Each structure stands twice: as structure tokens, then as C-alpha cells.
Amino acid sequence: MEAEGGSELCFPQLHNASCRKPAVVWHSAALPFFLMSLSALTVALNLLVIISVSHFRHLHTPTNILILSLAVSDLIVGLLLLPVEIILQISCWFLGDLACSLFNYLSFIVTSASVGNMVLISMDRYVSICDPLHYACRVTVKRVRLCVCTCWLCSVSYSGVFARDGLTQPGKYTSCHGECVVFIDYVSGVVDLVLTCVLPVSVIIVLYVRVFAVAVAHARAMRSQVSVGTHRLAVGSKTMKSELKAARTLGVVVVLFLICFCPYYTVSIAGDSLISSSYMTFALYLFYFNSCLNPLIYALFYPWFRKAVKRIVTLQPAS
């Protein structure tokens, strides 16, 4: 049975109460296959990050714990969020209103947790570069684990505020059977925009501008001390170079996150009526694409990650 305009109904037996299936044109038919491949790659790469940091004890450093937390949120994107979004683009929602509400709740949690992880990474790099003498005593594995747990708990609680209507009254805002929508009122949208986008992004930018300025000063100081040639200065220079390299690598991660994340929230700033559905879809997929980029950056800049992956693939025991 076909609906008006040639598109099939999601639930033909419900007639006018059913949504129509999305129309998939020929030139976009290959897109779902590309996105599913991206989803599989995202899962595989982030699993390697999680296994590497978890399995090898010498990688249990404060910075790597933050990378592990970020990899968990990226894994959820590739494993659950991205596949479901792909299905929604080519088919109807057949899992019911409660499952739709839970999916939206999970997407809220992952988004806020990813932002929180980026703020923690920026703070970690800020302390390591701007206050290196006290970094080891202030930033410990135990404290970072506590911060990560707090970040995820806050994300779960915060997201529950926005998802509570959908969880308590599933299907309240659906206009027909077969769709999965999320509704956020104007006040909640403004609060979410400030707390999840404007404030964290401002903190990240301020911290990394400060990190960049101090890093440039340290680099100049190290160049001026090369002629001294003492062993103590050499050791200090090597340590600082390592910290600067980590700051640069994680700086790339943060910058790419902001590039992929900010378009996602321009929809909230401009309003749904001023944004085309194509742009909304693009912004969402761009945000999800960031979850695949992070492990690639680690592979490109971190020798420890490449060595860990090699040992995992060749089934070598942990040392």
C-alpha cells in the first residue's frame, strides 16, 4: 500500500495515523553504506584505545584516563547512536515510544559527557604546562578517576532533566506512528545552549590560549638553555618537550572537537525554522564523525598507542 506522493506508510494498517517512510533518492543510496562503515571503524578504533589504556598498566596515567573516558563516549556513538540515526534516515521507527525516549536520553548523555571530557582534558594540559612543578601532586590517577566519574554522573543527571517528559510520557510529542522526535522548550534550549556549548567552549578556548602562550615561552626558554648543556637542564628540557608534545596532540583533538561540535549547536542558536533539514543532518553526522577522528589522532601522534595496538593485534602479553 502506498501513501499520497508515492511514499509508503510505516504502518499501512493505521492509515492516516501512520508516518510515511523517508524517501531515499538514488544518489544518496550509497550514503548509508558509507556511514555504517564509518560506524564500524569508530567502534573498532575506540575499542583499541579502551583496551590499550585498560590492559597495559604503564599507560594508567591521568591524561590517559581522560582519553579512556572520551573513547568510551566515542564508542557509544559508533555502536549505538550512529547506526540508529542511519536507520532513521532510511526507514521508520519501529521500536516504540519508550525506546525512542531512551535513545534520545542516551544521546544527551553522550553529548554532555564528551563536552565534559574535553573540559577536563583542557584543564589537565593547563596544569601540566602552566604549573608543572605541582602537576604530579595535584593531578593524580585517583583524582582524575573521581573527576571522570563525576563528569558522567553529572551528564546522566543533567540529561535526565531534558529527557524526563519523554521518559514519563513516551510519545507525547509524536505526530504519527513511526517517528522518533525530541522536544525541548525554549527556556530549556537556552539553558542547554549555555551549559553545554557556550560556557564549556569558552573555558576550553581560554585554557588553551593560556597553554599556547606558556608553551611558546617554554620553547623559547629551552632554546636559550641549549648552550648551557648541563645534565639537569637536559632532563628538564626533555620532560618539558614531552609535556609540550602531549599538549599539542590533545590540542589537535580539542580543536577538531570544536570544529565538529559547534555546527551541532548552531541549530539551537538559529532555530529550527531557519535551518534546513539537510544542514541539521550534516551537523549531526559531523559531530558523530569526530568520534572516529580521535583514535586516528592518537595513532598519528602517540607512539605508545601504536605499540599497544601492535601488541594487542599480535596477542603479546602485557608487561
Domains: count for the chain: 1
Q: What is the pLDDT of residue 222?
A: 64
Of 144, 155, 154, 152, nearest in space to 120 by CA: 144
Return the ∠ at Cα 231 (arms to 230 and 235), rounded to 5°.
120
Length of the chain: 319
115 residue type, one letter: V
CATH number at residue 193: 1.20.1070.10
Asked whether residue 261 is assigned to any structural domain, the reply reads yes
C-alpha to C-alpha distance for 46 and 153, rounded to whole angstroms: 21
Q: What is the pLDDT of residue 34?
A: 83
Of 91, 243, 104, 254, nearest in space to 170 by CA: 104
Q: What is the pLDDT of residue 89?
A: 78
Asked whether residue 157 is assigned to any structural domain, the reply reads yes
Asked whether residue 97 is assigned to any structural domain, the reply reads yes
Asked whether residue 29 is assigned to any structural domain, the reply reads yes
What is the domain extent for residue 305? 4-313
Asked whether residue 318 is assigned to any structural domain, the reply reads no
Q: What is the pLDDT of residue 153?
A: 97
Helix (H/G/I), strand (E/B), else coil: 30: coil
What stretch of H or E contains 153? helix 141-168
Q: Count the alpha carbons within 13 Å of 144 in the hemisphere toward its beta carbon.
A: 27
- Distance of CA 73 to CAs 60, 170, 197, Å? 18, 25, 17
C-alpha to C-alpha distance for 102 and 98, rounded to whole angstroms: 6
- Distance of CA 63 to CAs 14, 117, 216, 298, 316, Å? 54, 11, 21, 12, 24
Distance from CA of residue 254 to its chain's centroid? 10
Q: What is the pLDDT of residue 3?
A: 45
167 neighbors 102 (Cβ within 8 angstroms): yes
Asked whether residue 67 is assigned to any structural domain, the reply reads yes
Q: What is the pLDDT of residue 117?
A: 95
All 3 cell numbers of residue 139?
Answer: 593531578
Q: What is the pLDDT of residue 246?
A: 66
Asked whether residue 319 is assigned to any structural domain, the reply reads no
Q: What is the pLDDT of residue 69?
A: 96
Q: What is the pLDDT of residue 137?
A: 92
- Return per-residue pLDDT of the chain as tens, 319 residues: 444 444 578 777 777 777 877 766 545 567 778 888 999 999 999 999 999 999 888 899 999 999 999 999 999 999 999 999 888 877 888 888 889 889 999 999 999 999 999 999 999 989 988 888 888 899 999 999 999 999 999 999 999 988 888 788 887 778 788 788 887 777 888 888 889 988 999 999 999 888 888 877 776 766 666 555 554 444 455 555 666 666 677 788 888 888 888 887 776 666 555 566 777 778 888 889 999 999 999 888 888 888 888 888 887 766 5
What does the CA dihedral 122, 128, 130, 134 come to, rounded to 10 degrees?
A: 130
Q: How many CB atoms lie within 10 A of CB 238?
A: 11
